[in-house]
């Protein structure tokens, strides 16, 4: 991708992102942007952006799309399946493009009725709208100037698991495989994407569930399938976020080092602590972490006979965490639940 990386990073660092009812500065991620542009947005491919729930995958991609939307040669089409915002089982479809194209496409999207929340069903309607707008008088030159189309299907794994009774992610498996086929075979690409078939096409799935990640591994190199790990914020950037949020909320005597030890740079968990528990980390630990997640989940697995006792479950968790930390090259295991492959549903 030929875009000026430093300019994109600069625009991302100017962005303000949501944190409860507040807005905070987007921080860090310079190395991630460079790696993402060089490894993922470099040739047509299927990409799986994975990492801990709450690590900032959605924020990263939306901020990147916003920073690139006025470059002229790239259009992002963003399906947001974030479960709380899905209305009547339909995703929110957003467009990141130069402002005139963006307005026209969004206006046209609002006029169509998506018949299903599944990507495999409604992608054709969205593409028809995109092509219709770009073929209008006044936009035809823009169609020729579009070099890249990036389709992002955010939280699709969580939607399938929690709302669509598809815990094995069959639709995700089917769709990702179809995209890989389209990338590898020009005739398939022309049937699906028509005038856009000769552009560089990217199909990105930010995912947290380990089962969904196994789909990426099963695809192997088909369609240049690329898994990309995005981890939590590093210590210094997370400290800056904590201090900014503390100032915004008027919190005093915040123990930054303790929060780093507890949260490991996970901004989503910090938001839960601040918004839902008003910085009361003792109550958060007791009610949200220990009672709601750990004890309830471990008791369910003990009753189901998966392990002989809770202590056996904990032993297995620790071993898996250490193995994952070693395999991912993350150094010392900080106890991140997703690092143990999501086998115990601790983040559901």
* Separation of first and last alpha carbons in the chain: 36
* Residue 306 in domain: yes
* Residue 257 in domain: no
User: Strand 148-154 and strand 200-207: pairing?
Assistant: parallel
- DSSP one-letter string for 24-48: EE----HHHHHHHHHHTBTBSEEEE
> Residue range 1-13: average pLDDT?
83
pLDDT band at 255 (very low <50, low <70, confident <90, very high): very high
Name which of 15-24, 79-88, 202-211 the model is least confident about.
79-88
345 with 297: CB under 8 angstroms?
yes
Task: Measure the CA–CA gap between 81 and 151, rounded to whole angstroms.
Answer: 13
Residue ranges making up the domain that contains 303:
280-340
* Same domain? 212 vs 311: no
171 with 164: CB under 8 angstroms?
yes
* Residue 252 in domain: no
How do the residues of the chain divide into helix, strand and coil, expressed in percent and rounded to 5?
Answer: 55, 15, 30
Q: Does the pLDDT of residue 333 top 70, yes or no?
A: no
**pLDDT tens string 40-77:** 999 999 999 998 888 999 999 999 999 998 877 899 98
* Residue 261 in domain: no
Task: Measure the CA–CA gap between 103 and 25, rounded to whole angstroms.
Answer: 26
Q: Does the pLDDT of residue 264 top 80, yes or no?
A: yes
Residue 265 buriedness (CB in 10 A; 0-12 / 13-18 / 19+): buried
- DSSP one-letter string for 285-327: IIIIIIIIIIIHHHHHHHHTTSSSSHHHHHHHHHHHHHHHHHH
Higher pLDDT, 132 or 261: 261
* Same domain? 153 vs 214: yes
pLDDT band at 28 (very low <50, low <70, confident <90, very high): very high
* Same domain? 187 vs 51: yes
* Same domain? 225 vs 286: no
**Which residues neighbour 11 within 8 Å (Cβ) at sequence distance 6 or greater?**
66, 67
* Residue burial 327-345, b: 16+ Cβ < 10 Å; e: rest: eeebeebbebbbbbbbebe
* Same domain? 336 vs 206: no
166 with 93: CB under 8 angstroms?
no
Give me the CATH number covering residue 122: 3.40.50
* Residue 297 in domain: yes
Task: Give the predicted TM-score (pTM) of the model.
Answer: 0.82
Number of domains observed in the structure of the chain = 2
Q: Does the pLDDT of residue 224 top 70, yes or no?
A: yes
Higher pLDDT, 315 or 240: 240
* Same domain? 224 vs 326: no
pLDDT value for 306: 61
Q: Does the pLDDT of residue 8 top 60, yes or no?
A: yes
**pLDDT tens string 272-297:** 999 999 999 889 988 888 777 777 76
Last residue of one domain, picked from the residues 169, 204, 229:
229
Higher pLDDT, 99 or 258: 258
Q: Which of 143-157, 262-276, 316-330 has the highest mean pLDDT?
A: 262-276
**pLDDT tens string 162-182:** 878 888 888 899 999 999 999
* Same domain? 189 vs 292: no
* Residue 142 in domain: yes
Query: DSSP letter at 81?
Result: -
Q: Does the pLDDT of residue 338 top 60, yes or no?
A: no
Q: Is the dihedral of CA 206, 208, 212, 213 positive or negative?
A: positive
* Same domain? 27 vs 148: yes
* Same domain? 62 vs 141: yes
286 with 293: CB under 8 angstroms?
no
* Residue 95 in domain: yes
* Same domain? 186 vs 327: no
Q: Which of 81-85, 134-138, 245-249, 260-264 has the highest mean pLDDT?
A: 245-249
Last residue of one domain, picked from the residues 229, 251, 269:
229
User: Strand 74-80 and strand 92-96: pairing?
Assistant: antiparallel
Task: Measure the CA–CA gap between 248 and 163, rounded to whole angstroms.
Answer: 35
* Same domain? 84 vs 186: yes
User: pLDDT exceeding 70 applies to what percent of the chain?
Assistant: 84
**Which residues neighbour 307 within 8 Å (Cβ) at sequence distance 6 or greater?**
301, 313, 316
């Amino acid at each position: 991708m030929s875009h000026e990386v430093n300019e994109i990073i600069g625009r991302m660092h100017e962005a303000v992102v949501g944190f409860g009812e507040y807005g905070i500065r987007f921080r860090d991620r310079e190395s991630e942007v460079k790696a993402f542009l060089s490894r993922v947005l470099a040739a047509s491919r299927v990409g799986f952006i994975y990492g801990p729930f709450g690590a900032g995958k959605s924020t990263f991609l939306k901020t990147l799309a916003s920073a690139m939307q006025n470059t002229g040669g790239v259009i992002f089409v963003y399906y947001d399946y974030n479960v709380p915002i899905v209305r009547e089982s339909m995703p929110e479809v957003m467009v990141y493009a130069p402002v005139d194209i963006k307005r026209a496409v969004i206006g046209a999207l609002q006029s169509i009725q998506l018949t299903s929340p599944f990507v495999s069903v409604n992608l054709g309607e969205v593409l028809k709208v995109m092509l219709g707008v770009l073929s209008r008088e006044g936009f035809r030159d823009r169609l020729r100037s579009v070099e890249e189309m990036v389709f992002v299907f955010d939280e699709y794994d969580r939607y399938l698991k929690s709302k669509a009774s598809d815990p094995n992610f069959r639709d995700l498996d089917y769709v990702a495989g179809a995209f890989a086929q389209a990338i590898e075979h020009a005739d398939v690409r022309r049937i699906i994407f028509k005038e856009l078939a000769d552009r560089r096409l990217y199909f990105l799935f930010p995912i947290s569930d380990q089962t969904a990640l196994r789909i990426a591994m099963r695809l192997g190199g088909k369609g240049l399938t690329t898994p990309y790990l995005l981890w939590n914020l590093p210590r210094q950037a997370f400290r800056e976020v904590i201090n900014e949020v503390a100032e915004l909320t008027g919190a005093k005597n915040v123990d930054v080092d303790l929060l780093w030890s507890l949260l490991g740079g996970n901004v989503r968990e910090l938001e839960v602590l601040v918004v839902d528990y008003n910085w009361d980390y003792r109550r958060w630990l007791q009610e949200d972490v220990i009672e709601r997640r750990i004890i309830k989940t471990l008791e369910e697995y003990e009753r189901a006979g998966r392990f002989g006792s809770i202590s056996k479950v904990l032993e297995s968790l620790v071993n898996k965490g250490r193995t994952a930390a070693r395999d991912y090259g993350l150094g010392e295991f900080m106890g991140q639940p997703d690092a143990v492959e999501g086998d115990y549903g601790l983040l559901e």
